[in-house]
Amino acid sequence: MKAVLLDRITEAKDIVLTEVPIPEVRPGWVLVKVKAFGLNHSEKLLRLNEIQAYYIQKPIIPGIECVGEIADPSDSGLAVGQKIVALMGGMGRSFHGSYAEYALLPRRIVFPAESNLPWDALGAVPETYFTAWGSLFECLYLMDKIKKEGLASVTILDYQKEKVARMGAYIYNMYIGNGYCVTFADTHENKSVIQLNVLYPFAVWLNDPQMRSLAAHIATSKNFWQNPAGLYATSGNFPTLGRELMLLNLADQLGKEKASEPTSTAWYPDLQVKTFRSADNRKKGGSNGLFCAFKGGNNGENHNHNDVGSFIVYADGEPLLIDCGAGEYTDKTFSKERYSIWTMQTAYHNAPLVNGYNQTEGKQYGATVVNEEENSLTLELAKAYQEEADINTWQRTVTMDKDEILLTENYSMKSFKASTRLIFMTPVKPDVSTPGRIRLGKHTISYPMGWMNAGMEDVSDKLDPVLKAMWGDHLYRIGIGLNNAKMSGKVTLKIK
């Protein structure tokens, strides 16, 4: 097939077509006969600069969107000849894109389409449509505006606005402190990149005090009033005229807001994600005391890691126990070999490794909620593991008890096959020399002697540039082993 291949900085006049093999389809991916694709500014940036970056597969077929027909559906459930649109998700950067007669694409970024538009017109739609969809608030704001001006009769119902308010609250409910946000699964960034030109007008429209205070905190902490361009330059989310005008119209009001970090906690039952804050954190803000987020869910979620029952802890606004994230995307990331990557495995998450078994991928492998209270959540984890792990029950409880976190494991196993360990991932070098206590800087994990023993290993050599940018140059894995003679028991660890 004919395609454009790039492996170096290339001016538009130097682009040529090259003959390359039609890609071979594989599970989880579909082969698309490309009928048309849009030309995007990001592809120009790729040609003229980004092609030099370490994270760009080279040589690469560029193109972040396309429309076409399914040539080979593999195991996707789509049909040969079905009309589709596809975009983003690493297309044209982590794997070959659309500047070709055929494109092999992950099923997750391919969407069935019904349209009577000719191919050349439909080809301009995908990225434009999703950009508009991403501008939900601006659309809502304009709907209110034109109604107030008497230009049209448009009504946003109360229940619709309540739903939008809950969507907005997710922003600060997942904010930890010191710029950090809750991260699970395939994350490449652990710092907030919330833009004031979206956040503050949205906060005013919702009249949400916590969101307004967070916007003021970002403006102050990021030196927005003296150097507004610096905030955009570091986030990669560049300003647009419409959004800037909305913010400038509210600038005086923003300057009068009380700046503070959020101190809210949240429980999302559909996601099975709960956040906790210590008494000191609630009183003084996110950069003080302890913050914890605990997740259940299942191992069939989008961008899944086998991490049911994992949790993260931040202390005084800095990471203490972490979810590592995904690292650099490669072809293996979205293939049947995904769970051979260390970052996807239970053994590198803050979760139990039972009888030597990792959890198993698939929607049927998940947690159930046993009990949820204001400062506590108990999950049953047994069904997250394959039957061979021989688990009768494994109930994990996370409790925020004033200024310390209690981690309780209430378990029963059918047999002993291999060591059962509680795994903890940390960027802080641990001291495990004292039985019953692990020191992480000025913080500790205490565990009952006799029932458990602790060890640690330096896994810093596994860090790629993406993960180093998140956590620094060092990563350690702590393993606290249960007494092999005990097939059942209840044990509590303290983190403070």
For residue range 275-291, what is the model confidence (pLDDT) as tens digits?
A: 999 998 888 877 789 99
In percent, the amount of the chain with pLDDT more than 90 equals 66
Mean pLDDT comparison of 143-152, 239-248, 399-408, highest-scoring range: 399-408
Angle subtended at Cα 457 by Cα 320 and Cα 350, rounded to the nearest 5 degrees: 45
Residue 326's CB is within 10 A of a number of other CB atoms, namely: 20
Could you give the CA distance from residue 61 to residue 43 in angstroms, rounded to a whole number? 10
Please report the pLDDT score of residue 143 as a whole number: 73
Please report the pLDDT score of residue 216 as a whole number: 96
Phi, psi of 173 (to 5 degrees): -65, -30
- Say if strands 421-426 and 352-353 run parallel, antiparallel, or are unpaired: antiparallel
Please report the pLDDT score of residue 233 as a whole number: 53
Cβ atoms of 83 and 114 within 8 Å: the answer is yes
pTM, 2 dp:
0.77
Angle subtended at Cα 338 by Cα 334 and Cα 340, rounded to the nearest 5 degrees: 160
**Residue 75 CB partners (closer than 8 Å, separation 6+):** 27, 28
pLDDT category of residue 234 using cuts at 50, 70 and 90: low
User: Hey, what are 463's tokens?
Assistant: 């860090």
Lookup result for tokens 């449509």: 129
DSSP state of 351: S
For 85-140, what is each residue's pLDDT tens digit? 999 888 999 899 999 999 999 988 999 988 889 999 999 989 888 777 667 777 77
Cβ atoms of 107 and 30 within 8 Å: the answer is yes
Q: What is the mean pLDDT of residues 50-71?
A: 91
**Residue 241 CB partners (closer than 8 Å, separation 6+):** none
Please report the pLDDT score of residue 72 as a whole number: 95
Please report the pLDDT score of residue 43 as a whole number: 92
Q: Pick from 137, 49, 34: which is nearest to 87 by CA?
A: 34
Question: Is the predicted pLDDT of residue 236 greater than 50, yes or no?
Answer: no
Question: Is the predicted pLDDT of residue 482 greater than 80, yes or no?
Answer: yes
For 304-315, what is each residue's pLDDT tens digit? 999 999 999 999
In percent, the amount of the chain with pLDDT more than 70 equals 94
Cβ atoms of 42 and 96 within 8 Å: the answer is no
Q: Write down how long the chain is.
A: 496
Could you give the CA distance from residue 18 to residue 13 in angstroms, rounded to a whole number? 15
DSSP reduced 3-state for 103? strand
Q: Higher pLDDT residue, 222 or 427? A: 427
What angle do helix axes 209-221 and 158-173 make, rounded to 10 degrees?
Answer: 40
**Residue 447 CB partners (closer than 8 Å, separation 6+):** 436, 437, 438, 454, 480, 491, 493
Q: Which amino acid is at 409?
A: E
**Residue 200 CB partners (closer than 8 Å, separation 6+):** 212, 215, 219, 247, 250, 254
For 18-54, what is each residue's pLDDT tens digit? 999 999 999 989 999 999 999 988 899 899 988 988 8
Tell me the average pLDDT of the chain: 90
Q: Which helix (H) or strand (E) holds 283?
A: helix 279-284
Could you give the CA distance from residue 194 to residue 54 in angstroms, rounded to a whole number? 26
Q: Which helix (H) or strand (E) holds 461?
A: none
Q: What is the mean pLDDT of residues 319-339?
A: 87
**Residue 461 CB partners (closer than 8 Å, separation 6+):** none
For 181-191, what is each residue's pLDDT tens digit? 999 998 877 88
- What does the CA dihedral 350, 354, 357, 363 come to, rounded to 10 degrees? -70
Lookup result for tokens 């395609």: 3
Cβ atoms of 126 and 65 within 8 Å: the answer is yes
Q: What is the mean pLDDT of residues 192-204?
A: 84
Question: Is the predicted pLDDT of residue 323 greater than 60, yes or no?
Answer: yes
Please report the pLDDT score of residue 204 as a whole number: 93
Question: Is the predicted pLDDT of residue 459 greater than 70, yes or no?
Answer: yes
Strand partners, 290: 315
